[in-house]
Amino acid sequence: MDNEKAKKELLGRVTGIKKKSSCCSGSAGCCSNKGEVKTERKKITIDFLFLDLSVCTRCQGAESNLDESLKDVQNVLEATGTDVVINKVNVNTEELAVKYKFLTSPTIRVNGRDIQMEYKESLCESCGDLCGDEVDCRVWIYQGNEYTEPPKAMIIEGILKEVYGGILNSNFEENQYVVPDNLKHFYKVMKEKN
Domain count, the chain: 1
**Residue 142 forms part of a structural domain:** yes
The confidence score (pLDDT) of residue 129 equals: 77
How does the average pLDDT of the chain come out, rounded?
A: 83
Find the domain containing 120 and state its range. 42-166+178-193
* Residue 186 burial (C-beta neighbours within 10 Å; 0-12, 13-18, 19+): buried
**Residue 113 forms part of a structural domain:** yes
The confidence score (pLDDT) of residue 155 equals: 97
The confidence score (pLDDT) of residue 132 equals: 74
**Residue 76 forms part of a structural domain:** yes
**Within 10 Å of residue 150's Cβ, how many Cβ atoms?**
23
**Residue 13 forms part of a structural domain:** no
- Cβ contact 122:139 at 8 Å: yes
3-state secondary structure 104-160: CCCEEEECCEECCCCCEEEECHHHHHHHCCCCEEEEEEECCEEECCCCHHHHHHHHH
**Residue 138 forms part of a structural domain:** yes
3-state secondary structure the chain: CHHHHHHHHHHHHHHCCCCCCCCCCCCCCCCCCHHHCCCCCEEEEEEEEECCCCCCHHHHHHHHHHHHHHHHCHHHHHHCCEEEEEEEEECCCHHHHHHHCCCCCCEEEECCEECCCCCEEEECHHHHHHHCCCCEEEEEEECCEEECCCCHHHHHHHHHHHHCCCCCCCCCCCCCCCCCHHHHHHHHHHHHHC
pTM of structure:
0.75
**Residue 9 forms part of a structural domain:** no
The confidence score (pLDDT) of residue 118 equals: 86
Which residues of the chain carry a pLDDT beneath 50?
10-11, 13-21, 168-172
Nearest to 61 by CA among 154, 158, 186: 154
131: domain CATH number is: 3.40.30
pLDDT tens by residue, 154-189: 999 999 999 887 554 444 456 789 999 989 988 998
**Residue 123 forms part of a structural domain:** yes
Determine the residue type at 24.
Answer: C
